Amino acid sequence: MPVTRKISFIGGGKITEILIANMTARAVVDPALITVSNPGKARLEDLHKRFGVNKASSNGDAAASGDIIFVCVRSEIASAVAEELGGMDFSGKTVVTISAGVPMKLYREKLKNASVVRVMPNPPSKIGYGAIAVSFDDRIDGKAREDVMEIFSSMGKCFVLPEEKINILTSITCPAPVFAFCSAIIQSSVLLGIDHATSEDLVFHTIQGCLKEWEHNPGQMAKLLTETSTPGGISVQQLFSLDKGGFGGVIKQTYVDGWAKSKEFGDRILKSLD
């Protein structure tokens, strides 16, 4: 069902563009209901021309015009934006924070009577295949929850979790390590003598096939791994090489480090609020 409440964006960067593009392309929200504020007027004009959204003269004007307000700013300036909007009454409004690591407490304390949702879409959300973390505070009413889920479900699969789990999903859903792993396999193929274009195509179809097998066997990763590992065979030798290189530990540390970096932003903000 289309969302009929007014939508505002504070910040007109890449994530705002992705959200607006998805909302409008999938007819989830009418562009006439969307208002955007941004310090760079050229960017604001570009979004207006491309999507037909409204331009706000300030962050305050954007917040005042919206029923659902997306705060899409860099994590390091989220506190300044909250301070800027602190004199407004947000009764009946839903604030959606998109910034990585920024806790809901910042907006609950700084924005009078605001209901807050914390959402972390990952980059594949822009093509409708996102893994999207969502956390609602206890002030969110049923209609606001429904509208937020309608917007983000058009971009992929939503995982509704307690806020303390959001930083974990921020790390786990990051595609950069996945692309790095895929790139390493491609380079291995090139190293062994297959041209780059063929190697990329070969690796893509290998990974696609593995994902399809997993899709058809949910919850059976251990079984799939066992079935592809013939005793004394090539796969077992490859797994042994990964073990020798500390593959499992490196992968786990990669995501633990990502979680710690995300948590660091939030801890800094929470400390400033105490």
Which sequence spans correspond to the domains of the chain?
7-166, 176-261
Arithmetic mean of pLDDT, 53-63 = 95
Token code pair at residue 31: 């562009």
Percent of all residues in the chain with a pLDDT value above 70, rounded to a whole number: 100
> Rounded CA gap, 181 and 129, in Å?
19
Question: What distance in Å separates the CA atoms of residue 251 and residue 151, rounded to the nearest whole number?
Answer: 32
CATH 3.40.50.1220 given to domain 176-261: no
Over range 223-228, report the average pLDDT. Answer: 93
SS3 207: helix
- Coil, helix or strand for 175? coil
pLDDT digits (tens, 9 = 90+) for 228-260: 998 999 999 999 999 999 999 999 999 999 999
First to last CA, the chain: 41
Digit-coded pLDDT (tens) for 196-221: 999 999 999 999 999 999 999 999 99
**What's the whole-number average pLDDT of the chain?**
93
Of 134, 128, 98, nearest in space to 22 by CA: 128
Tell me, yes or no, if the two domains 7-166 and 176-261 fold the same way: no
pLDDT of residue 274: 73
Give yes or no for residue 1 having a pLDDT over 80. Answer: no
User: Mean pLDDT, to the nearest integer, of 160-165?
Assistant: 93
Domain 7-166 CATH class label: alpha beta
Categorize the per-residue pLDDT at 91 as very low, low, confident or very high, splitting at 50, 70 and 90.
very high
Is a pLDDT exceeding 80 seen at residue 60?
yes
pLDDT of residue 72: 93
Secondary structure E strands in the chain: 7-10, 34-37, 54-55, 68-71, 94-97, 115-120, 130-136, 156-160
- Distance of alpha carbon 254 from alpha carbon 233, whole angstroms: 29
d(CA 215, CA 203): 18
Which residues, other chains included, contact 123 with Cβ-Cβ below 8 Å and sequence gap of 6+? 130, 175
Phi and psi for 6 in degrees, rounded to 5? -75, 140
pLDDT at position 142 over 90: no
Give me the mean pLDDT over the 29-34 stretch: 94
